[in-house]
């Protein structure tokens, strides 16, 4: 009877070791974010415009073949009374493929209407989806665009 218990334990240990090694062999993700944003200004006035540079960096060890991104105002921004602005290019078109460690940048802008009331921040969020490792792996996220929040004064 004790021999059977040891065999079961040994088989369980080998299976656990195999699963642990398989998990460790999966592709690693770098700690840096795939998306960064830079605004042309930290403030905007009625009638003014702001450009946003969106930089996608491939943080994986294989090329990124496909990138889709859309940019929208946050709920708080849409609820600001009297704030009017037009976002141009809310669907972003990056050049792909993107080699491991390489970056690609696009610029979008928004124009604040001349009769817009201000006093709050214009803040945006994004949906980002991309494919890598010959399309067999994907990532998608909905996130705020840090660096895109601009005070309308």
Give the pLDDT mean for 10-27. 48
Is pLDDT above 60 for 28? no
- Cα of 153 vs its chain's centroid, Å: 28
Cα–Cα distance, 60 to 67 (Å, whole number): 14
- What is the predicted pLDDT for the residue at 70? 92
What's the rounded Cα separation, in Å, for the pair 82 and 116? Answer: 6
* Domains of the chain listed by start with CATH number: 29-152 (2.60.40.10)
SS3 18: helix
- pLDDT tens, residue by residue, 73-94: 999 999 999 999 999 877 788 9
pLDDT at 137 over 70: yes
Q: Which of 131, 60, 56, 55 is nearest to 100 (CA)?
A: 60
pTM of the model: 0.74
pLDDT band at residue 111, thresholds of 50, 70 and 90? very high
Note the pLDDT tens digit of each residue in 112-125.
999 999 988 999 99
CA 146 vs. chain centroid, Å, equals 10
């Amino acid at each position: 009877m004790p021999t059977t218990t040891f065999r079961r334990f040994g088989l369980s240990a080998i299976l656990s070791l195999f699963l642990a090694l398989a998990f460790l062999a999966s592709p690693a993700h770098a700690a840096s974010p795939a998306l960064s944003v830079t605004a042309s200004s930290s403030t905007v006035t009625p009638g003014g415009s702001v450009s946003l540079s969106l930089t996608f960096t491939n943080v994986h060890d294989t090329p990124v073949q496909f990138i889709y991104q859309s940019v929208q105002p946050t709920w708080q921004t849409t609820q600001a009374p009297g704030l009017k602005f037009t976002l141009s290019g809310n669907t972003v078109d990056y050049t792909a493929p993107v080699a491991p460690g390489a970056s690609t940048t696009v610029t979008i802008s928004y124009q604040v209407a001349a009769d817009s009331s201000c006093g709050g921040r214009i803040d945006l969020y994004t949906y980002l989806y991309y494919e890598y490792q010959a399309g067999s792996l994907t990532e998608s996220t909905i996130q705020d665009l840090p660096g895109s929040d601009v005070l309308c004064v």
